Chains A and B, each alone.
Chain A
């Protein structure tokens, strides 16, 4: 009856304002919302909880509705007619009010709500717009309506606390989404049921078996924490199992005056020495062909000098004397078919020589002294080089931007990163030189150069690194384990349980207990620590959000996974050892006789559906022992049409003549069991069941093998003198007749081991730590040293460091002195090669007269 008129409001409107209680999820949100709506004019007062303040202000929330002009807005319509400014009371909660717990503490903010709602006609829920928020909102409603049934309830949906978003929320107040809220409820309930039942069982059981080691430790199981643990263990095992392999790679280095470039092989690495050697040989041979060695070069240069074609070559002078007629020399070269055109352009633009800083005061920088077009072979090449070099240093700077360079040596590809040229200028006439900046030269397309070195390097593959927290969270995210809000919590839990440890470098290593649990379940073929089960539940919840109808009525199908899960919980748990290798033989033997557990955990309003669906009985008992169940389909019916039914449990149970049998809680799913040849017990329960803290149970374990094949194994779960916390507050179990026979038959036989097999074992209790040593904390560094020599192929590629570049200033003498540039912040040898001029347009040019230098130091390619 949402569309009710605000009679109270109408009546009171004459006297006073309509009062609205607003509840946000957190105090911060409440404050910010108040600020926005009141434009900063609100009063703050204390509530019962010092963490949840109360903010009061006047606000025309109803006017907002009116202004948008919705008459259809179901609830405020009538009120809008009667009130303009409402008295707003804004408070908050701290997460869930009714968290499913065995001892829910009544929180102070609940009292605040109860008090504040009394004077209000409306309740506006400002909880976050996610699934949890919806559920918290429902809880708030629950608390408030208990006090005041007539209050009108509105849900404000906003994605951010901005005036626009909030105004929009005010203008479009709506209803709670029951589906979404239910999904949360289901998950909470499933988590708690699975978690508490299994934690309890696991703790009790393992304590019995390994009392000396575990003492009072709680061995928890949680549907999120276990997969989280699983990630750590899996990675650790992968690191352990890793087999390093040696590989080879080819590294090409090009050293220039302006920097050293290391090119990375496109093939990255090759896991075969011969193959790599072949490719290496080919690279070497190819590069040898390119070279005129330095001695030969100088011999030719001397000859050209004596013939008068070029100036004296053995000089390191790189400054032209002031009196030098550069223009005349450039003009001399204009007839040449190859660079004459460039020389002409140069004359037209003007000769702008770059000045060096060295002079021997005897010789000018090397330059052509006479035009010729008749030289041959190497003489021609060297003359050409000198001319081009001269023209280049008289030319304007080249400009460029960052790019990556790929080279080919004998067909092998390599790559490095550098700058691409936007304005070629001198480079047009000087193809030899690859423009470079201080750290990285830039290469022209289709140009060739002589690598300074080509090396074949050996390396070894290294195992993946152990997980760090960031990796773990990423994995949890990837697999849908937990939410942003709970990731850290789950990780913390597995740390606290000593399931995992953290090395000083932040890497997670499984502890013995964690390793044992995971390996134990794995060894039994169950994937409790795998993310799949959990992820599927999360997916189902999403379905529930969106298409609730799917879950109404007779359940559809129970997935195979559910069966796996529940059989895990039954068969598996008994034999859980600290680790697979530690499982006492006697325990293992018991699984061969299909030991299952009697997990007499009773759900309120649980209905046990036997094979004949029509004759299903409603009972609090879920234990087996009703005589032979028939194989075949079990199709539970909803007890109450129109209500939601969930298949909670699928049980792998075996009948026994003496009434013993097994069952165990499993997963919540909707569905219909289609068991093939497997007997099962299906338990359904109503979603709207009483709180879990009313669960009454007494649990015991028992061999399920029927007849004389069965052993006498029997164990009360709570017979431990130090009962698990959860069990302490439980009232004594009811004894429904079907299961009571089980109780009786086993009671008094307080064996802690299942001795049904031929082996019976003293000693298994004392053998818990026959560990292989794997999994010891702190040993997780992995074997194999990281292949730093060969594996780190980072050089020359993009900034591997991923760090911010630093701004530096050119210190070296030259035209760029004082200029700022950005580069990798690491030490020079570790730099990734990132470079960018701070003034954005990088330029390059060529210094006169460095012929000598080039020949000797740069290994120029002709």
Chain B
């Protein structure tokens, strides 16, 4: 267990709770039986990590907790963070919502409109498991789209500027690990995020109130990690 913890910290840069790893390993043992080689054991734990809520798993924040308070600063390093939600603040929420609902304006250009097409500007609600903060798409981050699964994990690396508590991200600083958090899937569905931006949750449309899935497991030894394994977890060695 300790070795898995150490591996996660050393290679992935996350310091996780011991008992979460324990529960994780227990669960894997139940599912797979014993005798899983260490290497795949690690990867399976890592896969679980991507689908866990970092808040329930992480013991040590990787991003300085002072970031949200500071006017201007930079952080340098390697950070695993979780995207709780994201929204494109470069376009009107109403128009985005209409588009999702398939009610876009049926329009024809009778007048020539020369206004340039606005660029996307994602605003991400992130957490490193301890501190919540915002990040913005300062330069395009093609890896991210608005239909990103809520709770997906990212690696941020390099020197990242921060202003007014907001990280300024560029594409080359972001690596998408994937994953997601089941409990966020419902409440941070794109349509609900947009509806919240408009201060009217009811606009989210059908299914707006269904919360999918139970809250994630906590670190208690009684519960295993959410038994999920999607095929698209590209497990990569850290460089």
Contact = CB atoms under 8 A, between A and B. Distances in A.
A245 B93 CA distance: 8
A271 B90 contact: yes
Contact of B115 (A238, A277, A794): A794
Interface string B190-212: 00000001101001000000000
Contact of A274 (B95, B103, B118, B164): B164
B118 to A, nearest CB: 4
A461 B94 contact: yes
Contacts of B92: 245, 247, 271, 461
B105 A798 contact: no
B27 interface: no
A797 interface: yes
Interface stretch (A22-30, A463-471, A672-680): A463-471
B197 to A, nearest CB: 7
A244 B103 CA distance: 16
A401 to B, nearest CB: 19
Interface string A266-306: 11111110110110011000000000000000000000000
Interface string B66-99: 0000000000000000000000011111110000
B163 A281 contact: yes
Contact of B136 (A231, A278, A468, A470): A278
Q: Which of B121, B168, B203 has the most CB of A within 10 A?
A: B121
Contacts of B105: 238, 464
B114 A797 contact: yes
Contacts of A281: 163-164
A475 interface: yes
Given A278-B136, A281-B163, A268 B90 contact: yes
Given A468-B110, A471-B110, A267 B90 contact: yes
Interface string B97-128: 00000010111111110111111010100000
Nearest to A243: B94
Contact of A268 (B115, B134, B136, B164): B115
Contacts of A269: 90, 118
The size class of the interface chain B forms with chain A is: 35 or more
B200 A243 contact: yes
B116 A264 contact: yes
B7 interface: no
A797 B116 CA distance: 9
Interface residues of A, number: 40
B106 A234 contact: yes
A505 to B, nearest CB: 14
A793 B113 CA distance: 10
A415 B114 CA distance: 12
Contact of A797 (B111, B115, B136): B115
Interface in A650-668: none
Given A271-B90, A461-B94, A464-B107, A800 B114 contact: yes
Contacts of B119: 266-268
Interface string A453-491: 000000001001000101100110110000000000000
Nearest to A791: B115
Contacts of B166: 274-275, 278
Q: Which of A278, A282, A411, A798 has the most CB of B within 10 A?
A: A278
A269 B138 CA distance: 14
Contacts of A802: 111-112
Contacts of A415: 116
B197 A271 contact: yes
Contacts of A242: 94
Contacts of A264: 116
Interface string B130-167: 00001010110000000000000000000000011010
Given A272-B89, A278-B168, A798 B163 contact: no
A267 B114 contact: no
B209 to A, nearest CB: 20
Nearest to B203: A243
Contacts of A268: 90, 115-119
Given A245-B92, A274-B164, A794 B114 contact: yes
Nearest to A799: B114
Nearest to B170: A411
A211 to B, nearest CB: 36
Given A243-B200, A278-B136, A793-B115, A474 B89 contact: no
Contacts of B115: 268, 793-794, 797
A802 B139 CA distance: 33
Given A268-B115, A269-B118, A275 B108 contact: no
A244 B138 CA distance: 25
A238 B105 CA distance: 8
A802 B203 CA distance: 37
Nearest to A278: B163
Contact of A267 (B95, B107, B118, B198): B118
A245 B195 CA distance: 12
Given A243-B198, A245-B198, A282-B163, A271 B93 contact: yes
Nearest to A244: B94
A277 B95 CA distance: 23
A573 to B, nearest CB: 26
Given A267-B90, A271-B90, A411-B139, A278 B116 contact: no
A272 B138 CA distance: 13
A797 B103 CA distance: 30
A270 B114 contact: no
Contacts of A477: 108
B95 to A, nearest CB: 8
Contacts of A275: 89, 121, 123, 136, 166
B81 to A, nearest CB: 18
Contacts of A478: 108
Contacts of B103: 238
Contact of A245 (B94, B117, B121, B123): B94
B229 to A, nearest CB: 36
A270 B110 contact: no
Interface string B30-69: 0000000000000000000000000000000000000000
B104 to A, nearest CB: 10
A271 B89 contact: yes
B198 A270 contact: no
Contacts of B134: 274
A411 B138 contact: yes
A274 B108 CA distance: 34
A475 B106 contact: yes
A284 B138 CA distance: 16
Q: Which of A245, A271, A282 has the most CB of B within 10 A?
A: A271
Contacts of B107: 464, 471
B94 A266 contact: no
A657 to B, nearest CB: 39
Contact of A470 (B94, B110, B112): B110
Nearest to A413: B119
A271 B91 contact: yes
B108 A474 contact: yes
Contacts of A461: 92, 94-95
A270 B89 contact: yes
Contacts of A238: 103, 105
Contact of A266 (B91, B116, B164, B197): B116
18 contacts: A231-B106, A235-B106, A264-B116, A267-B119, A268-B115, A268-B118, A268-B119, A269-B118, A270-B90, A270-B121, A271-B90, A271-B197, A278-B168, A411-B139, A471-B110, A474-B108, A474-B110, A797-B114
Given A266-B116, A275-B123, A797-B116, 17 more contacts: A238-B103, A243-B94, A245-B94, A267-B90, A268-B118, A271-B93, A272-B123, A278-B164, A281-B163, A464-B107, A470-B110, A471-B108, A474-B108, A475-B106, A800-B114, A802-B111, A802-B112
Interface of B: 89-95, 103, 105-112, 114-119, 121, 123, 134, 136, 138-139, 163-164, 166, 168, 197-198, 200, 203
8 smallest CB-CB distances across A and B, nearest first, come from A268-B118, A474-B108, A272-B89, A278-B163, A271-B89, A470-B110, A461-B92, A243-B94
